[in-house]
A and B are shown apart, each in its own frame.
Chain A
Amino acid sequence: MSDHNAALPGYLRAHEDPPWVRWTLVGLTVAVMMFLVVIPLALVFVNAFSPGLAVYWDNLANDPDTLHSIKLTLMVTPVAVALNLVFGLAAAWAIARFRFPGRAFLTALIDLPFTVSPVVVGLFLLLLFGLQGYFGPWLREHDVRIVFAYPGLVLATIFVTFPVIARELIPLMEALGADEEIAAVSLGARGWQLFRMITLPNVKWGLLYGVILCNARAMGEFGAVFVVSGHIAGRTDTMPLRVEKLFQEYNMPGAFALSSVLAMLALVTLLVKTTLEWRTRRDLAAAAIEKDVTGQP
């Protein structure tokens, strides 16, 4: 029937909204995207490059604090992502494969960092690890610095981004089911073999997608890191914090130059993410077809 209708352009199809509704909604979406995303992003690049390439380069390469912020971000992000990778896999495995009391609660709890304001997360870390905090005296006695130092930045970043990978894996692993893993165990596979030969290959695209997304969020994290870093230039300023500081100091070319680096990272992430998303969807579709063929519910 729908094929028949499609062959008659101009006829109103029964299940579709009238054209004016469609065009209004499409127009509205495009307009909002233009004003809020495309134009600002373009302006970042325009402003960054308008003083000339030499100035752009000078702002990035010859400002030691900016250079340090790039280095710091590159040091914090991989550690946070790697730890979240381990955590995400463990959490997804636990939730998708085991039935235990409090499972639903744990699933909801994983989302908490997405719903809580990052600033609150930062304050919470201060309360725990700050000088006047809960562990503060003990930490000072043992000469361990967490707040206003590298460990604090990593902790804050982990906290804010930890749902990303788990969120990506849980639905994927639930859709794939445990059948293949049970089959592998019945064939004699042991824990590590099972993970390496069966589970990992089945979730690899979803996992990589989660890592990319987690990486993007970790690099751009501002609120929580702002609170725990103490924003000491050249010591605890990450790239987003440095951008803010340059802006506050009326160093527009510097702020935009560094922003453009973050924006470029975001664009690359988007590209990789879209590719991976497509592959994950293909895996999910394959799982669905498999179930269809075998008549599983």
Chain B
Amino acid sequence: MSITVSHLTKRFGDFLALDDLSVEVPGNALLALLGPSGSGKTTLLRIIAGLEVADSGSVHYHDEDVTTSPVRDRNVGFVFQHYALFRHMTVFENIAFGLRVRHWPRAQVNERVRELLHLIQLDGLGESLPSQLSGGQRQRVALARALAVQPKVLLLDEPFGALDAKVRQELRQWLRRLHEQIHVTSVFVTHDQEEAFEVADRVVIMNKGRIEQAGTPQEIFEQPANPFVMDFLGNVNVFHGRVQAGRAELGSIAIDYPEYSHQESRAATAFVRSHELDIQRVRNGRPALQANVVSVNPARPVVKVRLHAEEFGVWLNVDLSWERFNELQLQAGETVYVAPRRMRVFVQDYQI
């Protein structure tokens, strides 16, 4: 069941939460809506669910227009960030809720709930109350409750947001495997890019009510569409400079930039990921910045080196492999040369 969202606009007072946004969720996909807070991702999810009404635009499930149908008629599974389990009901009754309000016969309810308890690996905990479960267990119950009615689409609002790091990690992988088992079209909201990239097979990056980029995790990582995406993905160094006649000059680094061949000079921003910078003890002819090592943090799996290029007043973060670090034996205070292996240059034409 694919989801098609066309030209959605939603305002809350003066705040424009969604700005003429269109997006397509392919059938059986697991899609992540990724963005900073206030980017409109939760609003979009709630409109897809029917918990919120858009000012204009439409939502289709496959070819059925559900724009105006209320949430209770849409047959969606919604998982809330704070679980929203029914506190006075047992785990069993929580999962059975959607079936009970649909007047399923008792025997079928029992069978379906047992099946789901098994799916979420909580067999035997059916008679517990939500308050007796851990956060991770509660979120799995919330998921089972949403799945019980065999929803057309599964929508998850920051499903791991309230969990601690270790449980988050486990639950992410579990959700990925679960999706491979049940293949229901799923959309989840997150502000954690690592989570989006690890779990989803499609990622939509949102900012200020618009989509900055949509694609597979690999596409987005390899070809970030614009500075926002680049910056949001994190772990990058930013250089400011200018482009002119097929060359980009960023401090003492000058590289070919055939995408911009005009004679007119323009401001440009270059992004280099931390692991795309190399450190050398001597200049070897490649474009490089002179910088002082400020600190060395031998974290796993890479060594994080922080440097300061005094000449241009920029701070640099470099991730070195352990092999490279052992070769260099860097100490704080040393002067070295930092060379980018790869740069992404964005001309700031639209910011004028």
Interface residue? A132 (CB, 8 A): no
Q: Per a CB cutoff under 8 Å, which of A179, A189, A201, A286 touches B101?
A: A189
- CB–CB A179/B97 < 8 A: no
- CB–CB B75/A179 < 8 A: no
- CB–CB B101/A294 < 8 A: no
Binds A, one of B79-87, B203-211, B312-320, B324-332: B79-87
- CB–CB B87/A183 < 8 A: no
Minimum C-beta distance from A253 to chain B (A): 50
Closest to A200 in B: B88
- CB–CB A294/B131 < 8 A: no
Binds B, one of A190-198, A209-217, A222-230: A190-198
Q: Per a CB cutoff under 8 Å, which of A184, A185, A187, A201 touches B88?
A: A201
Interface residue? B162 (CB, 8 A): yes
A188 touching B86 in the complex, CB below 8 Å, given contacts A179-B80, A182-B51, A289-B131 = no
Q: Per a CB cutoff under 8 Å, which of A188, A193, A286, A295 touches B131?
A: A286
**Cβ–Cβ < 8 Å partners of A179 in chain B:** 80, 82, 84
A294 touching B149 in the complex, CB below 8 Å, given contacts A182-B51, A197-B97 = no
- CB–CB B86/A180 < 8 A: yes
Q: How far is the CA of A190 from the CA of B100 in the complex (A)?
A: 12
What is the interface of chain A mostly: helix, strand, loop, or mixed? Answer: helix
A182 touching B102 in the complex, CB below 8 Å, given contacts A286-B131, A294-B135, A294-B162 = no
Q: How far is the CA of A295 from the CA of B135 in the complex (A)?
A: 10
- CB–CB B97/A186 < 8 A: no
A184 touching B97 in the complex, CB below 8 Å, given contacts A179-B84, A294-B135 = yes
**Cβ–Cβ < 8 Å partners of A185 in chain B:** 71-72
**Cβ–Cβ < 8 Å partners of A24 in chain B:** none
- CB–CB B101/A202 < 8 A: no
- CB–CB A187/B84 < 8 A: no
**Cβ–Cβ < 8 Å partners of B87 in chain A:** 180, 202, 286-287, 290
Q: How far is the CA of A265 from the CA of B298 in the complex (A)?
A: 75
- CB–CB B88/A189 < 8 A: no
Q: Per a CB cutoff under 8 Å, which of B49, B89, B97, B162 touches A295?
A: B162
1/0 per residue, CB under 8 A from B, across A262-297: the answer is 000000000000000000000000110111011110
Minimum C-beta distance from A266 to chain B (A): 31
Interface residues on A, range: 20 to 34
Q: How far is the CA of A271 from the CA of B352 in the complex (A)?
A: 75
Interface residue? B78 (CB, 8 A): yes
Minimum C-beta distance from A208 to chain B (A): 14
**Cβ–Cβ < 8 Å partners of B83 in chain A:** 294
**Cβ–Cβ < 8 Å partners of B10 in chain A:** none
Of the candidates B77, B86, B149, B162, the one having the most CB atoms from chain A within 10 angstroms of its own CB is B86
Q: How far is the CA of A256 from the CA of B340 in the complex (A)?
A: 97
Closest to B98 in A: A187
- CB–CB B75/A183 < 8 A: no
**Cβ–Cβ < 8 Å partners of B101 in chain A:** 184, 187-190, 193, 197
- CB–CB A186/B51 < 8 A: yes
Q: Per a CB cutoff under 8 Å, which of B84, B98, B135 touches A182?
A: B84
Of the candidates A184, A188, A189, A289, the one having the most CB atoms from chain B within 10 angstroms of its own CB is A188
Minimum C-beta distance from B217 to chain A (A): 27
- CB–CB A187/B80 < 8 A: no
1/0 per residue, CB under 8 A from A, across B54-98: the answer is 000000000000000001110111101111111111000000011
Minimum C-beta distance from B74 to chain A (A): 9
Of the candidates B76, B77, B83, B146, the one having the most CB atoms from chain A within 10 angstroms of its own CB is B83
**Cβ–Cβ < 8 Å partners of B77 in chain A:** 186
Closest to B102 in A: A188
Q: How far is the CA of A280 from the CA of B102 in the complex (A)?
A: 31
- CB–CB B72/A189 < 8 A: yes
Interface residue? B145 (CB, 8 A): yes
Q: How far is the CA of A293 from the CA of B133 in the complex (A)?
A: 10
Of the candidates A183, A187, A296, the one having the most CB atoms from chain B within 10 angstroms of its own CB is A187
Minimum C-beta distance from A281 to chain B (A): 15
Closest to B82 in A: A294
Q: Per a CB cutoff under 8 Å, which of A183, A193, A286, A294 touches B86?
A: A183
**Cβ–Cβ < 8 Å partners of A287 in chain B:** 87
**Cβ–Cβ < 8 Å partners of A295 in chain B:** 82, 162
**Cβ–Cβ < 8 Å partners of B71 in chain A:** 185-186
Q: How far is the CA of A184 from the CA of B87 in the complex (A)?
A: 12
- CB–CB A184/B86 < 8 A: yes
From residue 92 to 146 of chain B, which have CB atoms closer than 8 A to chain A?
Answer: 97-98, 100-102, 130-131, 135, 145-146
**Cβ–Cβ < 8 Å partners of B100 in chain A:** 197
**Cβ–Cβ < 8 Å partners of A294 in chain B:** 81-83, 135, 162
Closest to A293 in B: B135
**Cβ–Cβ < 8 Å partners of B149 in chain A:** 187-188
**Cβ–Cβ < 8 Å partners of B86 in chain A:** 180, 183-184, 197-198
8 of the cross-chain contacts (CB-CB < 8 Å) are A186-B49, A188-B75, A188-B149, A189-B101, A193-B101, A197-B100, A293-B162, A295-B162
Q: Which residues of A contact B (CB under 8 A)?
A: 179-180, 182-190, 193, 197-198, 201-202, 286-287, 289-291, 293-296
5 residue pairs, one from A and one from B, having the closest CB atoms:
A179-B84, A187-B98, A183-B84, A294-B82, A186-B78
Apart from A182-B51, A188-B72, what are 12 other A-B pairs with CB-CB below 8 Å? Answer: A180-B84, A180-B86, A182-B80, A187-B145, A187-B149, A188-B102, A197-B86, A286-B87, A286-B131, A289-B131, A290-B130, A294-B162
